[in-house]
Amino acid sequence: MQISGARVLITGAGGGIGASLAVELARRGATELVLVDRDSAALEKMGGNGVKRHVVDVTDGKAVSAFVEKLGGVDLLVNGAGISVPGRFEALSLESIERTLDVNLGAAVRLTRLVLPKMPRGACIVNIASASGLMAPGGLAAY
């Protein structure tokens, strides 16, 4: 896929891999970066030409649907939103485990289903995941 001239949507763009990827894609000539994160302060740090920042909780189905409705098509979707809740599995609340699953997996599924019909032929989807998903390290079982 050619990055130069591409319109890119990145979730989890306020920090970590998402923020680094946004900087690199801008450097490689992406025309428009649509950056999504739930942290408005982190998003405000992301700037530059062609950057559009949107504060959206990717686990809020109605908010995501409304956002995608106005979005239009993108050439590259990067599902990068993710969280980890440290602690022993049996000590974690069911709510925190379900939130982790929804941010790390459910949100990517939901967003992809909504954005895919608006993507042009040859567009790409990238799902950021961790090797920790294959074998959870001690203290991060929900992750």
Please determine, for residue 110, whether its predicted confidence score (pLDDT) is greater than 90. yes
pLDDT band of 58, cuts 50, 70, 90: very high
**Mean pLDDT in residue range 88-104:** 93
**Mean pLDDT in residue range 25-52:** 93
How is the beta sheet containing 7-11 ordered, strand by strand? 51-55, 32-37, 7-11, 76-79, 124-127
- Candidate list 21, 79, 142, 143, residue with the active-site label: 143
Distances from the Cα of 91 to the Cαs of 67, 98, 142, in angstroms?
Answer: 35, 14, 11
**Mean pLDDT in residue range 51-68:** 96
Spatial CA neighbour of 80 closest among 126, 115, 34, 117: 126
pLDDT band of 140, cuts 50, 70, 90: confident
Q: Which residue has the higher pLDDT, 119 or 143?
A: 119
Give yes or no: 15 in active site: no
* pLDDT for position 131: 76
3-state secondary structure 44-64: HCCCCCCEEEEECCCCCHHHH
Query: The pTM is what?
Result: 0.92
- pLDDT tens track for 5-32: 999 999 999 999 999 999 999 999 999 9
pLDDT band of 49, cuts 50, 70, 90: confident
Distances from the Cα of 51 to the Cαs of 7, 11, 95, 133, 137, in angstroms?
Answer: 10, 13, 34, 31, 36
